[in-house]
Amino acid sequence: MERVPIDYSVILDCAAGILYNLDMRITTWNINGLRAALGKGFEERVRALNADVLCLQEIKSRADQLDAAQHASLTGLYPYITWNPASRPGYSGTATFSRSQAVQEYLGMGLPEFDGEGRLIASRFPGPLQDVLLFNIYFPNGSRDLSRVPYKLDFYARLLEWCDGLHSEGLKIILTGDFNTSHTEKDIKNARANAGSTGFLPEERAWIDRYLEHGFVDAFRNLYPDKIEYTWWSYIGNARGNNTGWRLDYFLVSEALMDRVTAVTNHTEVMGSDHCPVSLDLRD
């Protein structure tokens, strides 16, 4: 199945005051159910994050499942929203919210075995990101019984094939979202206890290594080599209160883009999901 981009015309109306800032913030957040989050502080939290582009994962809904008030609330936050829901109701799905209209978009990888789960949106925007393809990704979970680990690893492999091709063409890439893998022992509270759990299996962690060998940089770990922070906590056993967590949410950026990255922030204080938002700040 051929991967076909969705192209949009772009109108830059300076008279109307449409300007692009020299600095840009991209925020990723696994919201664990968008409809559940709406009306429960989601809007206020998103405004405080002040992102130019907001990448949501695990939205668990389609646009037509939101009522008029919910749509109004979301478009009041961002005028442009791209949806890629899963075909299965109440499951998976991604959405990208932005202040400017994308000039190019891909919904999925053009692979039916993955695209029905709504796991990927790739976007290129005008302004500071015009030379960058931004991927909003919800990587598969390997499942508690490990039955989906092969599917997860195949997703990693097929995405890297695409990225290798883009890098060979000279394009810069930002991969962000819920990777569903903690890369090193610095990224998980109880490494030994979770050595046999999906999300910390050697074969899963090796795929993060492979991405770093193929021209990507873990922006957070590059800037803060020794910082211990997590982005996901179980709802069980007061894990968040005890900070018994995992770092599952990343920004992997092309090596050629890393000199524009000024900060990566894990917003550990922001509630509303079992994940916290993570922000990447860029300068043009």
Residue 127: what pLDDT? 84
Active site residue 178: yes
CB 219 within 8 A of CB 231: no
Mean pLDDT value of segment 269-284: 96
Residue 201: what pLDDT? 98
pLDDT band at 2, cuts 50/70/90? low
What is the distance between the alpha carbons of residues 91 and 119, in angstroms, rounded to a whole number? 10
Mean pLDDT value of segment 183-188: 98
Residue 18: what pLDDT? 34
DSSP assignments along 169-194, one per residue: TT-EEEEEEE-S---SGGGBS-TTTT
User: Where are the chain's structural domains?
Assistant: 6-283
CB 137 within 8 A of CB 119: yes
- The mean pLDDT value of the chain amounts to 92
pTM: 0.92
For residue range 199-217, list pLDDT tens digits in order.
999 999 999 999 999 999 9
Mean pLDDT value of segment 69-74: 95
Nearby residues of 14 by Cβ (< 8 Å), 6 or more positions away: none
Range 6-283 classified under CATH 3.60.10.10: yes
Residue 168: what pLDDT? 97
Residue 187: what pLDDT? 98
What is the distance between the alpha carbons of residues 246 and 181, in angstroms, rounded to a whole number? 8
Q: Which of 178, 187, 218, 281 is catalytic?
A: 178
Which one-letter amino acid corresponds to residue 259? D
Please determine, for residue 11, whether its predicted confidence score (pLDDT) is greater than 60.
Answer: no
Which one-letter amino acid corresponds to residue 129? L
Helices 202-213, 149-168: inter-axial angle, 10-degree rounding: 0
Mean pLDDT value of segment 7-17: 36
Residue 14: what pLDDT? 32
Higher-pLDDT residue of 127, 3: 127
